[in-house]
Amino acid sequence: MFSIIAVDISGRHKIKDGYYMVCAAVALEVSASHIESISQTAIKPFLSPGPPDVLAIVNIIEATVSEIESSGPIIVEKGDLYNRPEWISKKMFSRDMKYQESLSERLAIEFAHHISLSSRKLLMKELDIE
């Protein structure tokens, strides 16, 4: 069993006056192929006037993950970090991170994606945008 923290960011496109993003982080226990349990989730909204660069993305992820109590590497989709090689991305984070590899890590990212997507929808509805 392995502890991981899967993250995903929704809303990386411009709406009206800026970028309304939501980052979701999910702490899970996984085997190589299955999700065994979910211990915590954290959601954080971010508003940025311009398109986020890779450092902004790193900050968004770290800010969201800081609310998670469990340890374990952060699992990020390569595309979320503009397809930078993994070893370069690793250097930008203050804690252990990697791109998703196993089926369970992919499932975890998918799960985080649904959370960030639906919470962003809710946020946009509350703010009366879109």
Partner 1 sequence: MKKVILVQRNEPGSDNGVNEGKLAELKELARAAHYQVVGVLTQTRYPDRKYQVGRGKVDELAVFVEVSGADKVIFNHQLSTTQIYNISETCKCEVIDRFNLILEIFASRATTRRAKLQVELARLQYELPKARSIVSLLKKDERPGFMGLGGYEDSYEQDVKKRIVRIRNEIHSSCKSSESLRSFRHERGFSLVALAGYTNAGKSTLFQSLVKEGTEVEDMLFTTLSPTTRSLSINQRRVLLTDTVGFIEDLPHWMVDAFRSTLDEIFLADVILLVVDMSDPVEVIRQKLVVSHDIFWKRIEGVEIVTVLNKVDMVEPDDLKRKVDEISYLAPHPVLISASSGDGFEALVDKIYENLPQWDRSRIALDMSEESLSMVSWLYDEGIVHSIDYGEQIVLDIEAREEILQKVSKFNIDDHRVLS
Q: Work out whether 37 is an interface residue with partner 1 (CB under 8 A).
A: no
Q: How far is residue 75's CA from residue 98's CA, in Å, rounded to a whole number?
A: 5
Can you tell me which of 14, 34, 95, 125 binds partner 1, judged by CB under 8 A?
A: 34
Is residue 78 a contact residue for partner 1 (CB under 8 A)? no
**Is 102 near partner 1 (CB under 8 A)?**
yes
Identity at 100, one-letter amino acid code? Q
Residue 92 as a binder of partner 1 (CB under 8 A): the answer is no
Which of the stretches 16-24, 25-33, 43-51, 63-71 binds partner 1 when contact is defined by CB under 8 A?
25-33
Residue 70 CB neighbour total at 10 angstroms: 15
The answer to whether the CB of 116 falls within 8 A of the CB of 43 is: yes
CA dihedral 9, 12, 115, 46 (to 10 degrees): 70
**DSSP H or E stretch at residue 3:** strand 2-10
Q: Which of 14, 15, 31, 51 binds partner 1 (CB under 8 A)?
A: 31
Provide the binding-site residues for partner 1, judged by CB under 8 A: 2, 31-34, 101-103, 106
